Structure 1
Amino acid sequence: MSARHTRVLILGAGPAGSTAAIYAARANLKPLLVTGRRAGGQLTTTTPYVENFPGFAEPVEGPVLMEQMRRQAENVGTKVMYDIITFVDISMRPFRLQGGFGNTYTTYTADALIVATGSEARWLGLPSEKTFKGFGVSANAIFDGIFYRNKEVVVVGGGDSAVQAALDLSHLASKVTVVHRRDRFRAESILKDRLLSKPNVDVIWNHAIDEVIGEHEPNKWVTGVRIRDVNTGDVRELPTHGLFVAIGHDPATALFRDQLDMDRAGYIKVGSWSTKTSVPGVLAAGDVIDPMFRQAITAAAMGSIAALQAEKFLIEHPPAPIAPARSAGPWWPVRPLHGGG
């Protein structure tokens, strides 16, 4: 077991965490950024091109944008750790966190903590969806779309994520059918216009997915979905080779359940124009506190605020003494892993 102490520990390497790292490093706080399972956050897996981030005259690839943020953070003094946090204790300072897999553990202690763990894809919650997850059911059009070249696919959802997924798939699949439970999209106008102009895209309004249909032997694969008219209750089957679920995301805050004040949806509560949580010295930024805007630029802005408030907190609150490390073995109970987006 190894141990690391830092003045500021940042969980998550998306726009919020990376920007917090840049600001904290420039304040000479020598921050430590723990990436989580998905270094770079949602922009590395759900968005091929970013067109609305200031400073880029041409669309920039999501992974490239996040790589630039990471390199900038490192260049100004951030130490990046590719690790997953499995337990957090913020009942006293220094805050204590545990990371690692198997028999390799790292204990982290920090005088201030910035939570920027992002969000995770939301699923429909159908038993059949779980059965075929990875066998025709996916939440990632960027990574899995290539397997559906010249095939028919269904996308469920009506927000930016769903419309973008359908657009991405329209370049690969022979036909894309979008199933949306309302009679209009909630996505940006420019995305809606692009999608509706695609000749190989159909939209089925006012319908929901009731069941995923497929074969089980000799291998599992999806053959269709059962959809229901939300107004009449009529049910019919829609043949497809794959289902892409794009109905939004939930904040990746399970690690902090019962430790930080949250709303019913799991978003961490912070003050107005603030990233301060219910625990002094713990700040939160990005998708973990934002159920409304969920943009890279707003997450980055929150990250800068979190770093500035962490700096102010550390000036006003001298570091607490670090408890001696335990001699062997993990000291923590099992907790959910952090997403790191």
Structure 2
Amino acid sequence: MPQDRIRAPELNGGRSWLNTDKPLSLAKLKGKVVLLDFWTYGCINCMHIIPDLKKLEQKYPNELVVIGVHSAKFENEKETENIRRIILRYEIEHPIVNDADFAIWKAYAVEAWPTRYLIDPAGYVIGRLSGEGGYEAIDKAIGDSIAEFRKRGELNEEPLRFVLERAKVGDLPLAFPGKILADAKSDRLFIADSDHNRIVIASLAGTLLETIGTGAHGADDGAFDRATFFRPQGMALDGETLYVADTENHLIRAIDLKAKTVKTIAGTGEQSGGYGRSGPARLIALNSPWDLQLVGRTLYIAMAGPHQIWQLDLAKDQVSTFAGSGREARADGPRNEAAFAQPSGLA
């Protein structure tokens, strides 16, 4: 993050603000370190850095203000209500400005999603970072700026309170369920109750049969009432075994419906940053597995993060890339040269 003594442009031109009852300005945030996150909700790389933003907000609750600048890639992403739903779905707790007209994007000369700008308490740009990663560099820059301005007596450490979108919504029986799987033979409907971090099983008529998972974020294996997930998505059924793409844990889980237990069968729990790796299923990191399809003893995985389709050999406990070069594009051809864009469904 290079050091440049440039005055940060004001946050003008947004269509609307969310997670706050009034528009924010850098002038009124003087004395705070400000982190601007330029993002769009259809970009998986943007979604991948949300956990890093949460960590920074928790580490510097009074000194740092994170502001999301949502500059839409597609027309539907410009709708404020759609952005509000994403805020609720991903439990975002910092203010968001709908920069649908790219006014703030252009003022900061942003070129790609995601891009983060760090602004010191005097209103000057400390640095800029594009793409995923960079948590350590941003954390250090924030810490250094806080120390410097605290020493000068120019740091505002008074806590700010924002009116969050989640405060306007009551409890829901299901929270942003991502995928469903119906099995007519057993009269069961499996629901990935994604934002409740659990799997719900109902009859096809709608009678609740079982819930799997405590509802807390986590990756704990074990009995149904002790296991945890983190925004699970796609599923595949093999008799009395339900396979689950545990998306934000970057894991594949196997649920034994008879024994009522959950077991991790692929992934390390860390997000992979590479493409085309293969090896023992529990030793290879995954990257946002989003959907599953079982063919024989091979479990195909829509790996949204690296824009690929992977395969898990259940007999050998080995994972490998099946299709996709890893570049984000739409390109036909030989399966290792073809390209996908954040694949999230299989059939």
TM-score range for the pair, normalised by the shorter chain length: under 0.3
Q: Return the structure number with greater relative CO, CA threshold 8 A, min gap 6.
A: 1
Higher helix share: 1
* TM score, norm. by length of structure 1: 0.24
